[in-house]
Amino acid sequence: MVKEIIGGIRTIRLQKNIPTKETLQLEIVGKHMEAFNPVITKLCNISSIANVNEKSAGAVSFLVRTTEYAVPLGNMINVEEELARLAEELTYQQGFLASVLKKLCNESFVSKAPAQVIEMERKKQADAESKIKSLEESIAALKNNVDLLTPLNTNTMKHTRRTFFKQGLAGALLIGAATRGNAILPDPVTPKARKAMNPFHLGMAGYTFVHFDLDTTLKTLQRLDIHYLCIKDFHLPLDSTEAQIRAFHDTCAAHQVTGYAVGPIYMKSEEEIDRGFEYAKRVGVKLVVGVPNYELLPYVDKKVKEYDFHYAIHLHGPDIELYPDATDVWENTKELDPRIGMCLDIGHDLRNGCDPVVDLKKYHTRVFDIHIKDVTDASKAGVGIEIGRGKIDFPAFIKALREVNYTGMCSLEYEKDMQDPFVGIAESIGYFKAISDLEL
């Protein structure tokens, strides 16, 4: 439920073009768990939360189940634009309700459909009716209080959609991607002092940027205040020359980014293992994230001893037979050199029916890298989604990281909207950083 509340407030910010640095007030009409308030306040920059019998005039609201959450906007919105948006949403909801009622009024449908289907349609009806009521009240309040809501003036409020995207973090990232770095980006926001001390570091998995060049990747990391990158071969090919490797490191350093590992690299032969280890040596890192065939593990053991590297096997969930979860990696490496372990991909671990919090505690001595992500379901059907919106319990996971004193990287591997991932990346990093700040 708290994820829906946070998502609703963030949606209001985006729709109304309100920068995240501006505090908002939150009004609640109905039942609400006050235990959620510290997280909501932290993640949404809320100055006050109040239970009220009726929302303020001109407040924009959303429903979570039967509870209405409202954000008073005062003069932060353009009244005409807001009325147009509400009218458009009202028309949609009315059309949706009509389609649901058409089904429920169809005797043939009602007599043949399973009871759970009828129940679902009635829930859709109730939800649509609640939303229509809320929209109508918002429209009436705006019309009745138009004098209180001065329309935006280009000289006093420049938070139109275009300028907000240019000025805000997500917009800077989007523009930077679209123009390959030609846009002027605002200076990074100075982070607030942490409330909690964490042993781990936040990084980025290179695969997140499979469709983007190194320059776009590094500018994005710089804007997000992330300083560690797991290097993929599409940014630095395995056959790179020494000069190309030096140029790569110089470019990273110019953006205050360090490559901390290479991979994942798939290894199906001894020759490919040799090539991967030699590549890591030339790049100057001592952690290889790899996916070797099971029968090649003894050879990996030999190379780890030879190079004195750590080797983290990337698990892949139910999609491929190799290393579906943390337990499988553990069972196949526990008798090998202790420098052979896993890159714990918490999303894939969950998709294979495992609990990444439990697995971290159980196998932490062999966890050398972590890919953080969220997924929509704890099954093969689960797909990537912004961190904090899916099924993974991140407060519990961060608490476990502290308990086992994990000192490695937690690197975001964002796999949603990969052709245009920047807003989702920013949201995911922001959520993870905020939860990491809390004393859990």
DSSP string, 149-167: SPPP-TTT----HHHHHHH
pLDDT tens readout for residues 334-367 = 999 999 999 999 999 999 999 999 999 999 999 9
* Mean pLDDT, range 79-83, rounded to an integer: 74
Confidence label for 376 from pLDDT (cuts 50, 70 and 90): very high
pLDDT at 150: 39
Percent of the residues in the chain that have a pLDDT greater than 70, as a whole number: 86
* Mean pLDDT, range 276-284, rounded to an integer: 97
Distance CA 55, CA 362 (A): 48
pLDDT at 95: 85
Question: At residue 129, what is the residue type?
Answer: E
pLDDT at 149: 38
Distance CA 417, CA 385 (A): 9
Confidence label for 75 from pLDDT (cuts 50, 70 and 90): low
Are the C-beta atoms of residues 379 and 351 closer than 8 Å to each other?
A: yes
Confidence label for 11 from pLDDT (cuts 50, 70 and 90): confident
In this predicted structure, the answer to whether residue 114 has a pLDDT above a threshold of 90 is no
- Give 405's strand partners: none
pLDDT tens readout for residues 204-216 = 999 999 999 999 9
Distance CA 8, CA 296 (A): 49
Q: Which of 77-81, 124-128, 320-324 has the lowest mean pLDDT?
A: 77-81
Among candidate residues 257, 252, 263, the one with its CA nearest the CA of residue 203: 257
pLDDT at 195: 59
Q: Indicate the pTM of the whole model.
A: 0.61
How far, in whole angstroms, is CA 259 from its chain's centroid?
A: 22
In this predicted structure, the answer to whether residue 184 has a pLDDT above a threshold of 90 is no
Among candidate residues 104, 143, 99, the one with its CA nearest the CA of residue 122: 104
pLDDT tens readout for residues 142-162 = 676 554 433 333 333 333 333
CB atoms within 10 A of CB 239: 8
Pairing of strands 310-314, 287-292: parallel
pLDDT at 226: 95
Among candidate residues 58, 51, 52, 64, the one with its CA nearest the CA of residue 8: 64
Contacts of 354 (CB under 8 A, 6+ apart): 325, 326, 327
* Mean pLDDT, range 233-258, rounded to an integer: 96
Bond preceding residue 264 cis, omega within 30 of 0: yes
Distance CA 257, CA 222 (A): 8
Distance CA 262, CA 311 (A): 10
* Mean pLDDT, range 183-209, rounded to an integer: 70
Are the C-beta atoms of residues 339 and 309 closer than 8 Å to each other?
A: yes
pLDDT at 284: 96
